[in-house]
Structure 1
Amino acid sequence: MAEMKLFGVWASPFSRRIEMALKLKGVEYEFIEEDMKNKSPLLLEYNPIHKKIPVLVHSGKPIAESLVILEYIDETWEGPAIFPKDPYERAQARFLAKFLDETFFPPMWKACCSRGEERQKAKEEAIELLGFLDNEIKGKKFFGGDSIGLVDIVGNLVAYWCGILGEIVGIEFVPKDKYPNFFKWINEYNNCSFVKENLPQKDKLIAFLKARFEVLDSSK
């Protein structure tokens, strides 16, 4: 079997999505926990541009950036498909995945880390963006149809982490009455046995995130 290593952080949704994909494909790997305050020489060597996790190392060859890694995994190993086979649906899935990471995540994180008027503005922006996803998931169990696909795996960010962050800072990012379709998807996703097996323990994650916010507050 080819050597497989994943450099990540247990509490990171970006690391967890790679673990989920590897387990979906039945690929064995070694997880290497990184300390992002004291990054290992190997991480800096494998990802010299962004110096971030996750990084997947397959037979000594590194692949960085979670969306790129997910596509690599899907194209390299047989098993349940992560990306749609239809070219148009594949393009749409890529678009939604980038939307979550590049458009939704920044205002959501800003709402959690800011205060006052700045927080309110970022919160409203993040919540408004979810209307697009509410329409996309309407009438479907998962974004991938009847089974979990790319957008669902990338969506762990909002399905699990976003809810916990909201609990910590007192923000409801997904109001049930406003986005019933998306709210239903979150419940389906978080209660899926495969997903539950690949999510960090809630209490442990809350403690980790609270500690991080305390550090951020002390630096302001």
Structure 2
Amino acid sequence: MAEVKLFGVWASPFSKRIEMALKLKGVEYEFIEEDLQNKSPLLLKYNPVHKKIPVLVHNGKPIAESLVILEYIDETWEGPAILPKDPYERAQAHFWAKFLDEKCLPAILKACKSTGEEREKAKEEVIELLGFLDNEIKGKKFFGGDNIGLVDIAGNFIG
């Protein structure tokens, strides 16, 4: 059996993405909780460039960056597809996942951390951005249609 380890933080939406995908595919794994204030030598060894979680280690080989890891999981293990097979639909899934990471998450964090007028402006931005997502999912059970996929997993931080 393949050795699969996930270096992460229980409350991290980026770690949760990987956990969701591994569970969706039925992959057994060991979760290694990291202390981000005191990063382990293994985390630093496996992700020397960014020095952050999550890192998936499969048979001793590390993969970093959550969206990259999700694609790796989809291509490596049998089970429900995370990414569409159709190239256009696949590109769209990548677009919306990147939109979540680069636009929505920073705006949501800003709305949570700011105060006063800055918070109100940030909340308006979040509402606008979530409107794009709402429009995209209209009439569908999941972003990918009838089945959970990349965008749904990437958007796990939206409650």
- Tell me the TM-score range normalised by the shorter chain: over 0.9
Structure with greater helix percent: 1
Q: Once the two structures are superposed, what CA deviation does each residue of 1:155-205 show, in whole Å capped at 9, x if it has no partner?
A: 1111x3xxxxxxxxxxxxxxxxxxxxxxxxxxxxxxxxxxxxxxxxxxxxx
| Aligned residue number for residue 8 of structure 1 | 8
Once residues 147 and 114 of structure 2 are traced to their aligned partners in structure 1, the CA distance between those partners, rounded to angstroms, is: 36
| Aligned residue number for residue 143 of structure 1 | 143
| Aligned residue number for residue 78 of structure 1 | 78
Query: Which deviates more from structure 2 when the two are superposed, residues 121-130 or residues 53-62?
Result: 121-130
| Aligned residue number for residue 128 of structure 2 | 128
1:115 aligns with 2:89: no
Instruction: Give the 5 Å matches for 1:25-104.
Output: 25-104=25-104
RMSD: 0.9
Once residues 148 and 39 of structure 2 are traced to their aligned partners in structure 1, the CA distance between those partners, rounded to angstroms, is: 32
**Runs (5+) with no aligned partner, structure 2:** none
Once residues 65 and 123 of structure 1 are traced to their aligned partners in structure 2, the CA distance between those partners, rounded to angstroms, is: 28
**TM-score when normalising by structure 2:** 0.97
Once residues 37 and 103 of structure 1 are traced to their aligned partners in structure 2, the CA distance between those partners, rounded to angstroms, is: 26
Residue 6 of structure 2 aligns to a residue whose secondary structure is strand
Deviation at 1:117, TM superposition (A): 1.8
Once residues 32 and 134 of structure 1 are traced to their aligned partners in structure 2, the CA distance between those partners, rounded to angstroms, is: 35
Residue 121 of structure 1 aligns to a residue whose secondary structure is helix
Letter in structure 1 aligned against 2:72: Y
Residue 156 of structure 1 aligns to a residue whose secondary structure is coil
Q: Once the two structures are superposed, what CA deviation does each residue of 1:81-108 show, in whole Å capped at 9, x if it has no partner?
A: 0001110000000000000011111111
Deviation at 1:33, TM superposition (A): 0.3
Once residues 109 and 51 of structure 2 are traced to their aligned partners in structure 1, the CA distance between those partners, rounded to angstroms, is: 20
Letter in structure 2 aligned against 1:26: G
**Runs (5+) with no aligned partner, structure 1:** 161-220
Letter in structure 2 aligned against 1:17: R
Once residues 118 and 51 of structure 1 are traced to their aligned partners in structure 2, the CA distance between those partners, rounded to angstroms, is: 31
Once residues 48 and 123 of structure 1 are traced to their aligned partners in structure 2, the CA distance between those partners, rounded to angstroms, is: 35
Residue 10 of structure 1 aligns to a residue whose secondary structure is coil
Residue 32 of structure 2 aligns to a residue whose secondary structure is strand
Residue 62 of structure 1 aligns to a residue whose secondary structure is strand
Deviation at 1:148, TM superposition (A): 0.7
Letter in structure 1 aligned against 2:109: W
The number of residues matched between the two structures is 159
Residue 142 of structure 1 aligns to a residue whose secondary structure is coil
